[in-house]
Structures are given as C-alpha cells and as structure tokens.
Amino acid sequence: MTLTQQKSFAPHDTGTLYLVPTPIGNLEDMTVRAVHTLQQVDLIAAEDTRNTQKLLNHFEITTKQISFHEHNTQARIPELLAKLVAGQSIAQVSDAGMPSISDPGKELVRAAIDAGLPVVPLPGANAATTALIASGLPPQPFMFYGFLPRKASEQRAALAALSTQPQTVIFYESPYRLAKTLTTIADVFGDREAVLARELTKKFEEFNRGTLLELADWAADNARGEFVVMVAPAPEQAPTVSDTPLRDQVLAQIAAGAKPNPAIKAVAKANGVPRQVVYNAYHELEAPDDL
Ligand code: SAM
C-alpha cells in the first residue's frame, strides 16, 4: 500500500465530499457548521430527499438534492465522483445521525478516497455515542456493532463471537424485534447488566437499566420508539486454579521451553496470585511476612 495524505482544507481543483450528520430527533442538534455546509455545497446527496427536504426547509436551505440510498449506491457513485472531479462540492446526509453509521455512505467514501478526492467529516448527532455517555456502563473500550443479523443462526454466531469481549457492546435494534433480541443476547452472553436508551433527544427520551432478561420482559410490553441497546463487558474470567503446586507449574513451562521469568509471570497470572509468591515457590524461598 502506498501512503497517501489528505490535507482537508488546502486549496483543491476538485470538489470536496462533506459527510454531514443530521439530528436524531431534536432539530436543535443541527450544528451551525452543518447548516453552513449544506447551504454552501453544490449538491446534497440524501438517503431520502423528501425527509431531508423538511430539514432544509426548517433551516431555509435551498441547495439541490439527489437521492443516494442503499438501492442506488452503485449506480450513483460514478455520477457523484464525476461531479466532484469537475469541481462541485457534495454533502452526503442520511435520514438521521452520522452518514455511514448503520446508514448509507461508506461505499461513496471509499470510492472518493480511491479517486484521491478530499472527504471531510463533520461531527454531530449519533445515537450510539449519545446513548453510551449516559449509560453508566464503561464508556471505553466499547464496541459498536449496529444491527445484528436478522437470521437466527447468523445472529447467534455474531453474538458468540462477541460474548467474551471485555468491552461494552452497542447495538441498534428495531422496537419490533427488541424483546426477542434481548432474550437471545442473554442466552448467548449470560444475563448481564444492560441499558436501553429510548427516543434519544426527543420528548419521551428514557433510559432503562437492568439485566438483559429484566429488560426483555419490559420490552415485551413497552417497546415503542427508537432504541440503542448497550450491554456490559464480559466479566473477567476467574483464573482456573490448578491443583499442581506452583513450582511444578513453573518447571513444566520451563521444560516446554519458556524462560524462568516469563514462566513465573504466566503461572502467577493463571493462578491469580502475586508474582512474588510464584517466584518464592519456584526458588523454594520462605514467603515474606507482608504477603
Ligand atoms: N446514522 C444513525 C446514527 O448515527 O446513529 C443511525 C441510523 S440507523 C438506520 C437507526 C437506528 O439508530 C435506530 O433503529 C435506533 O436503533 C438508533 N437510533 C436512531 N435515532 C435514535 C434515537 N433518537 N434514540 C434511540 N435510538 C436511535
């Protein structure tokens, strides 16, 4: 791969592709820069032009739109690239939140980068990170998964791959599938702590906190609106305590080719004991009083 560098705000002969987030419910979350960008570009590539027109009307933006959604992505990309190469600037928007985040956009971004065109992201509304910061779950590390596959076998396989991850996992889910999906997550992950963020930034915003199965019960009767599902990290694996004396475990690792110090460290970790204890056992020393 050859290193390439984009200087976003250096003068260009080409146009720029701007990625513009839009509100996820509350129109006041439209940034001043987002409004200016939508006013100044030559064209807005929108997931649903009728939906975006309401936003444009609200902010008195008169820029022309072109549809760009999951069903016309491949056909539209060459057309949009040609306009960018010819010097026109384009803003890509989805119906709500960040383009490309469980929404159309990523193929256009890749194609623009491959064509050497500048791609400029604007910060702004996004359901996942908005939910995460008020969840009370560890905010990092976190894993944003988005929508799980709908097919049961694929969904379980995806969950199995996530089930031991020591990080908060964030899903998007529709209200119609929420209760069932929470039950399946509990089945694969164990009944962990989780948070449902509902209708973020809107009048009926709420956070429901409980275990996955408690939330599944709640969702069976109450799942209306939009939801972000956040699940607590996998609990740390309890070290497997071996009956073999610590010294013998170190000797076994050394016999298998390890050097003494790494062997001591590994045995300490595996048994959940301080390294000094294993060191002493290996060297057949008395344990110091303060251990
Ligand atoms: N691009 C968007 C973003 O940056 O968050 C996500 C679009 S995705 C098609 C829509 C999903 O995002 C919804 O099904 C829901 O899971 C989540 N979502 C969007 N807006 C939300 C809101 N106001 N409250 C809770 N979840 C929301």
Q: The domain that contains 174 carries what CATH number?
A: 3.30.950.10
55 and 34 part of one domain: yes
Please report, to the nearest 10 degrees, the dihedral formed by the alpha carbons of residues 119, 125, 131, 137 taken in order. Answer: 50
172 and 216 part of one domain: yes
- Find the CATH number of the domain harbouring 95: 3.40.1010.10
> Which of 99, 125, 151 marks a domain boundary?
125
111 and 68 part of one domain: yes
- For residue 197, the ligand 1 atom closest to its alpha carbon is 25
Does the global pTM surpass 0.75? yes
CA 184 to ligand 1 center in whole angstroms: 21
Within a domain: 196:
yes
Q: What pLDDT is stored for residue 19 in this prediction? A: 98
Residue from 144, 150, 169, 227 whose mutation best tests the ligand 1 pocket (most atoms within 8 A of CB): 227
Task: Evaluate: CB of 163 within 6 angstroms of ligand 1.
Answer: no
Within a domain: 6:
no
Q: Where are the alpha helices (DSSP H) in the chain?
A: 32-40, 49-58, 73-85, 106-114, 127-133, 152-162, 178-189, 212-222, 246-255, 260-271, 275-282
145 and 193 part of one domain: yes
105 and 161 part of one domain: no
Within a domain: 5:
no
92 and 23 part of one domain: yes
Task: Evaluate: CB of 201 within 6 angstroms of ligand 1.
Answer: yes
137 and 212 part of one domain: yes
Task: Evaluate: CB of 101 within 6 angstroms of ligand 1.
Answer: yes
Q: What pLDDT is stored for residue 241 in this prediction? A: 65
Q: What pLDDT is stored for residue 290 in this prediction? A: 47
Within a domain: 70:
yes
CA 286 to ligand 1 center in whole angstroms: 60
Domain count, the chain: 3
91 and 121 part of one domain: yes
187 and 211 part of one domain: yes
Task: Evaluate: CB of 102 within 6 angstroms of ligand 1.
Answer: yes
Residue from 98, 226, 231 whose mutation best tests the ligand 1 pocket (most atoms within 8 A of CB): 226
Within a domain: 247:
yes
> Which of 74, 108, 125 marks a domain boundary?
125
85 and 144 part of one domain: no
- For residue 205, the ligand 1 atom closest to its alpha carbon is 24
Residue 87 · residue 15 · CB < 8 Å: yes
Within a domain: 11:
no
- How many residues in the chain? 291
Task: Evaluate: CB of 227 within 6 angstroms of ligand 1.
Answer: yes
CA 149 to ligand 1 center in whole angstroms: 16
CA–CA separation, 131 vs 200, rounded Å? Answer: 7
Task: Evaluate: CB of 17 within 6 angstroms of ligand 1.
Answer: no
Please report, to the nearest 10 degrees, the dihedral formed by the alpha carbons of residues 279, 285, 290, 291 taken in order. Answer: 40
Q: What pLDDT is stored for residue 1 in this prediction? A: 84
- For residue 202, the ligand 1 atom closest to its alpha carbon is 23
Q: What pLDDT is stored for residue 291 in this prediction? A: 42
Q: Which residues pair with 78 in a beta bridge?
A: none
Q: What pLDDT is stored for residue 67 in this prediction? A: 98
Query: What are the structure tokens assigned to 99, written together?
Result: 């383009």
- For residue 127, the ligand 1 atom closest to its alpha carbon is 5
Q: What pLDDT is stored for residue 31 in this prediction? A: 98
What are the residue ranges in the chain where pLDDT is below 50?
A: 290-291
* 84 HSE (CA, 13 A, CB side): 26
Within a domain: 12:
no
143 and 64 part of one domain: no
> Which of 187, 208, 231 marks a domain boundary?
231
CA 276 to ligand 1 center in whole angstroms: 50
281 and 200 part of one domain: no
CA–CA separation, 63 vs 32, rounded Å? Answer: 16
Within a domain: 8:
no
CA 105 to ligand 1 center in whole angstroms: 15
CA 52 to ligand 1 center in whole angstroms: 16
CA–CA separation, 11 vs 207, rounded Å? Answer: 46
Instruction: Give the structural domain span for 68.
Output: 17-125
How many secondary structure helices (H) and strands (E) does the chain include? 11, 10
Residue from 24, 98, 150, 182 whose mutation best tests the ligand 1 pocket (most atoms within 8 A of CB): 24
